[in-house]
Every structure is written in structure tokens, then in C-alpha cells.
Amino acid sequence: MNATAPKISFGQIGACKTLSQLIRSNAPSYWSYMKHSPDLGPLQKYLGFEGIIAGDPHPGNFGPIPVRNLKGQRAMKFLNIDFDDCGIGPFALDYVRYVVAVKADSKLCKWRPLQEAYLAGLTGKKLAAPREVQKFLAMKLSAYDKKASAYMVRNTTSKGFKFKKGETQPYKGRIDPAVIMKLFPSGSVVGMAKRIESRGGSEDMLRIWVLVAGERGARRIVELKQRSIPGTESYRPQPPVKQWLSEVREVFWSGLDGSSYDLITVAGELFWIRDKHVSLINLPYSSRKKRNQKFLVDLAVYDANVLGLAHGTQPGAKKYLRTISNDPEEFHQATKQVGNAYLKLAEEALRRRLDSLRTRKS
């Protein structure tokens, strides 16, 4: 990197044991650095093309979930499932952020296949999902509901939640439980838990799980997650919250009922409210099995395409794509240079932290 490049501060580094964890836990640091870095020269010609971006795109933030369309019809969709760091910003830096996260996950993931999938998305071409993902997208909703029911049985009792050390604990927060109960007038609150986060963009934010019983006794876990300042805010000012959410939904959840992933005000604070979904894809970050490693590579390519599709629906995307298409190799070299430089900074920061820990132990 340029000798005059600004220093970068990675938050929560003490809780990160791998490069992947460090990258995924620091979206604001990435955007702050990219705002002030003098080393974006190779990318300058692409930075003027802006729109709604994911802000923290990585394989863990895309996945298959059941949602409803505007007519109330329910179906499985593969979507961006984390709006926390979304906002307005350069498409190119969102793409670099994605590849940086992927490369931190697996050295087997290569820049060129990711770029090819991303550019295909920009043109509107949808790539076939990996077989494992296709299986989940074809899953009957009744089968998904059965999984959700099994998750409920494992994690709750007739009286409330089963608390797990390091994951959940009885809710004792600044917001009166009575206020939370009033959010569910058509059901009864059976129990509440505080979700514990050891790291990540929401580490210091309040996260509440509410066990709600419906009229016929059917139960669901509803998550209230305090809204944090989007990582993209570290790059440029974002629109007022209502406008911001409307624009984010239009890009990432177009044609879907947004009430299942909404922002509400609770005791004067903004919280995301959504049903707790069953995670269908367990990312094999540390697996050495060839099958799992191949799946991670295939999934990363597919997610790059999904990101490109989201970028490509927006007004500035056509000129952006045309600029890239004039010389795809130039785009490849520019994004790779900037991305690898950022990865090197993260690797050095993590190594210093781990060396410090080893020195203390010795």
C-alpha cells in the first residue's frame, strides 16, 4: 500500500481467531478505509457508478428462506438476509468487499470466476444455483416448517427458552418486558431471551428473542435486533431511515412483503423485527473435506451472481457495465490490486494480535 495510506483500525479483533472472522466483523472499517485511502487509483474510473449496495456481502449473508410476495403467497427464495450495512455506495467497492470476504474464507476461490459470475449478473443473466441450494429452493414449505418446529422443540420448553451458555441468557434489558409484550397483541409472549454476540457488526447492540404463541397455540421465535449505523455510513451519508429501508427493499427484496423483515420503534429505539429462520446452509469455513470446499467455492460464485443481479437492476448499472466491458481485464486487475492490498492489511493486523497472545502465554 501507499506509504501515506491511512491507518486502519479493526474492531473486535480480540474475538477474531481467523481472517474470515476479522473481515466479516468489520464492515464499517472497510468503508471508512476505502473513503480515505489514496490507493484506489486503479478503481477511480468505476467509483462514480453508485446505487444501493449490500455493504457487507459475504456467503453468510445470502441464503434460502421462506418469504411472502405482495399477494401473500409463500415461497422459498434465495436472498440477501442481512440489511444492516446496506446503503448507497459504489458498486465496484461492494464487489471488492464481497471478494475480499470470500478470499478470506477460502484460498480456493479465484478472482476470475467470481468476476465472470458478477458480470453475468450485471447483464441480468441468472446462473444456476449449486445443487445443494437448488435442493433447498425446491423444498416444500411443509418440510421447512417441520424443520422450524424441530428447532423450536430443541430450544424451548412449555415455559420458555432453554438457555445456552455463550448463546442465550434470560432477558434483563433496559426495555421493560411489558413494552415488548405489547408488540404482539394477537398472541401471548411465553418467554424472552437475550441473544449473545461475541463479535460482529451487532456485537454491542441489543438482540432479543421473543417466544410467541398464536391463537391456536402455534409458536414462533421473533427476533428484535437493535439497528446499528450501516457500515456504508462510514463511506458517505445515507438517506433518512424510511427512505433508506424502502430503497434497500426495492433492490434486494423486490416484489416481496417487507413486513417480515421490518424496522419498528421500541421505547424510542429502532429495532429490526423478523421471525427467527432455520439456517439451511451451514458454511464449511474450516472444513478440509474436498466436497465441502467445492461447495463453498460453488456457493461463492453463485452469490457473486446474485450480487451482480442486484446491482444490475439499478439506473447507474448500464454505464457501469459498459465501462467494465470496454476492458474486463483492467477491471480484474484493479479490483484484485485493491482487494489484495486490503486483505494484506487485515492479515498483518490479525498476525500481530495472535503473536501478542502467544507472547503473553509464554
CA 61, distance to chain mean position in Å, is 3
Q: What are phi and psi of 270, to 5 degrees?
A: -85, 130
133-172: per-residue pLDDT in tens?
Answer: 999 999 999 999 999 999 998 999 999 999 999 899 999 9
- C-alpha torsion angle, residues 229, 232, 234, 237 (rounded to 10): -90
82-137: per-residue pLDDT in tens?
Answer: 999 999 999 999 999 999 999 998 889 999 999 999 999 999 999 999 999 999 99
Between CA 140 and CA 3 the distance in angstroms is 56
**What is the pLDDT confidence band of residue 5, given thresholds at 50, 70 and 90?**
low
CA 124, distance to chain mean position in Å, is 22
pLDDT at 284: 78
162-178 burial code (b ≥16 CB/10 A, e <16): eeeeeebeebeeebeee
Between CA 144 and CA 76 the distance in angstroms is 9
Closest listed residue to residue 79, CA positions, set 120, 139, 137: 137
3-state SS class at 92: helix
Global pTM value: 0.93
Between CA 350 and CA 17 the distance in angstroms is 8
Place of cell 494480535: 353
Between CA 251 and CA 315 the distance in angstroms is 11
Cβ neighbours of 30 (radius 10 Å): 26
pLDDT at 173: 86
pLDDT at 252: 98
